[in-house]
């Protein structure tokens, strides 16, 4: 469920042939972008998630964070992408 405190976090993974693949996670209830990033990294590290992406490793520095915004009429949109200044693997 997407709430007013939702974030969309995209994590990049590199395939064996070198292609960058992003997996996106909706994170509810995070206080800020950094908390959303950490929650997405924790979710991505779950055994089921690792198995779903064939244990691909996180691409260093490839994190996209967007806030899910809702206008007064209930239409949802994404904020501009935020870059993460922290190292993406330091969950």
Burial 11-30, CB ≥16 within 10 A → b, else e: bbbeeeeeeeeebebebeeb
Distances in Å between the alpha carbon of 13 and those of 30, 34, 59, 68, 71?
Answer: 23, 19, 5, 23, 32
Question: What's the pLDDT band for 2 if we cut at 50, 70, 90?
Answer: low
Which pair of structure tokens corresponds to residue 84? 């993460």
Task: State the pTM of this model.
Answer: 0.80
What's the confidence (pLDDT) of residue 83? 64
DSSP structural state of residue 42: H
**Could you read off the pLDDT of 33-69 as tens digits, one per residue?**
999 999 999 999 999 999 988 888 888 778 899 999 9
With 80 as the cut, is the pLDDT of residue 88 above it? no
Sorted by where each begins, the domain ranges of the chain are: 6-83
Q: What angle do CA 29, 87, 56 make, to 5 degrees?
A: 85
């Amino acid at each position: 469920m997407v709430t007013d405190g939702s974030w969309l976090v995209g994590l990049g993974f590199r395939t064996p042939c070198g292609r960058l693949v992003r997996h996106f996670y909706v994170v509810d209830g995070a206080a800020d972008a950094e908390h959303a990033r950490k929650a997405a990294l924790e979710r991505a590290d779950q055994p089921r998630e690792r198995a779903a992406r064939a244990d691909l490793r996180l691409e260093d520095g490839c994190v996209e964070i967007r806030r899910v915004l809702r206008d007064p009429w209930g239409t949802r949109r994404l904020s501009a992408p935020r870059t993460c200044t922290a190292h993406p693997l330091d969950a």
